[in-house]
Amino acid sequence: MKRVCYRRFHGFAVAGGTCSTAEGIHIFIATMLRQLLLLTLSVAVFASVSPFPGPGAKCPSTNQTIIWNYNASSDAGPSHWGDLCPEWIACKTGQRQTPIDIPLSFIITHPTANLNLKTSYTTLQEQMFFNDGHTVQVNINQTSFITVTEAASKYQFLQFHFHSPSEHTIDSNHYPLEVHLVHKSADGSFAVLGYLVKQDTYTEGFLQTLSKKIHEIPQYGNSTLISSLNLTDLFNQHDNYVHYNGSFTTPPCTESVKWFVHTRVLSATREDLNTLITAMANTNRPTQGLYNRTLVQYGLYTPEAVDIKTSGRPTATTSEAVAIRVAAVMIVFLASLML
């Protein structure tokens, strides 16, 4: 019996010509096995050379890559991170975890204001911007650092990345976006600067640069180069920030991270926020217990300095909100005519 035969074409099984059933099946299965082998090899090679951590993280004791996510109803979601790997137990039992809610009434103002944190950033050139499977990140390969004078420690600037909505909350209010600038000292401890981002009429320069490039990295493993990035304006001597001791907000939730959450909220337009958020929606770990930690405010802080009006997702503009209300009224009016 003759029938349509699958033949190889550049390694793929394509239908064409005629051959016996046995011959056709043999060629088809052989081609499929070859493709499967090639696919497996490609994945293995990519995994071994990829510089990105990806949606999984290595569990040291089992030497397995554990996939974790932000889905509250998943077995790999935040409430289960501490069960997925013995070394991730801090995610479950730690009492110095991040993020936290920052209740304005709990903050203690430090008498020496903002003397304990200094940044020494240079204008960055040719930095890698990539999608790590959870969020988008910029790795810093030039010398920039911060100094925490109280601890007499210098922390090298390693990378910055985003979360949406914000991980920290102010009086339980989320912001559309949060930036984390991660620094590491010679003794292996970390300091992270956190910035909340609100919807506004303009976009900070570095966020504008990234929003123009983010379409190039829609999926895990995608990367692109940012030719020039200026973060030197991000921090200034008049900034206020809340300091506390916390952790990584992703597995293994390692503690002993010095956090500095700035109360000067950054700005981005609704369009730029939406562009950035598309690549990292729902990448916020829920807030953790404060336990007996103190929140110390540095700078000339007043509660009014914190803009907590904008929360959650970018909102419609005033004209759009009016249009939506008019449309709703029209629908109700038309429905009443039909009844």
Minimum CB separation of residue 135 from Zn ion in Å reads: 7
Region near Zn ion per CB under 5 A, out of 83-91, 104-112, 172-180, 206-214: 172-180
CA separation for the pair 135, 132 (Å, rounded): 6
CA separation for the pair 108, 111 (Å, rounded): 9
Please, are residues 180 and 194 in contact by the beta-carbon 8 Å criterion?
A: yes
Q: Which is nearer to Zn ion, 24 or 246 (CB)?
A: 246
Would you give the binding string for Zn ion spanning residues 230-249, x where CB under 5 A is met? -------------------x
Q: Which is nearer to Zn ion, 6 or 248 (CB)?
A: 248
CA separation for the pair 7, 17 (Å, rounded): 8
* Length of the chain counted residue by residue: 339
DSSP lists the bridge partners of residue 54 as: none
180 binds Zn ion (CB under 5 A): yes
What sign does the dihedral 100-103-104-109 (CA atoms) show? negative
183 binds Zn ion (CB under 5 A): no
Region near Zn ion per CB under 5 A, out of 87-95, 136-144, 173-181, 289-297: 173-181
Q: Which is nearer to Zn ion, 5 or 234 (CB)?
A: 234
- From residue 235, give the alpha-carbon distance in Å to each of 70, 157, 168, 337: 30, 14, 19, 59
Burial class (CB in 10 A: 0-12, 13-18, 19+), 214: buried
The residue with its CB nearest to Zn ion is 180
Query: For strand 124-131 and strand 145-148, is the pairing parallel, antiparallel, or unpaired?
Result: unpaired
Q: Which is nearer to Zn ion, 98 or 173 (CB)?
A: 98
Q: Please report, as residue ranges, which positions from 260 to 319 form the binding site for Zn ion (by CB under 5 A).
A: none
Region near Zn ion per CB under 5 A, out of 119-127, 180-188, 201-209, 223-231: 180-188
198 binds Zn ion (CB under 5 A): no
Region near Zn ion per CB under 5 A, out of 113-121, 177-185, 208-216, 300-308: 177-185
Site of interaction with Zn ion (CB under 5 A): 180, 249
